[in-house]
A = this chain, B = another copy of it.
């Protein structure tokens, strides 16, 4: 098993707030991240798949294909977007890094299903150099 990682990036606006709460409660919970006029980040997404290198190419999967899948399925829907308003798969959710990464997992696990040689292993979503999350999907309970 080799773990192959591909980094892509997107720049987006968002805010953290719970619509069931008052403005004061949101500011108490989220601080400046609740600013009603939004703020934003240069996000980086690192997708890790695992698999055996194919004998004829030496590669686990064609990296250009993997990059194209990530871009078409995820990046194009997030880049230069408002994560609260513009993204179908985040509708009705709080676009924290934790929630975004779980939703991206669902999309990529589905999109990579036809590629029998690889399995989605991990996602890393970097909001700033100081704040980032990792997710290994639900079935990987033993990690």
Interface of A toward B, CB cutoff 8 Å: 1-9, 11-14, 16, 18, 20-21, 29-33, 35, 37-42, 48, 53, 56-60, 62-64, 67, 79-82, 85-86, 93-99, 101-102, 128-136, 142-143
Distance, CA A67 to CA B130, complexed state (A): 10
Question: What are 25 contact pairs spanning A and B, CB under 8 A?
Answer: A2-B98, A2-B133, A2-B135, A3-B135, A4-B98, A5-B131, A5-B133, A6-B130, A6-B131, A7-B131, A11-B128, A12-B39, A13-B38, A13-B39, A18-B56, A20-B56, A35-B82, A37-B81, A37-B85, A41-B41, A42-B42, A53-B98, A58-B98, A59-B94, A60-B133
| Chain B residues with CB below 8 A from A98, complex form | 2, 4, 53, 58-60
Interface of A, helix, strand, loop or mixed by DSSP: mixed
Closest Cβ of chain B to A32, distance in Å, is 4
Closest Cβ of chain B to A136, distance in Å, is 7
Distance, CA A61 to CA B40, complexed state (A): 20
Residue from the list B5, B80, B143 in contact with A35, Cβ < 8 A: B80
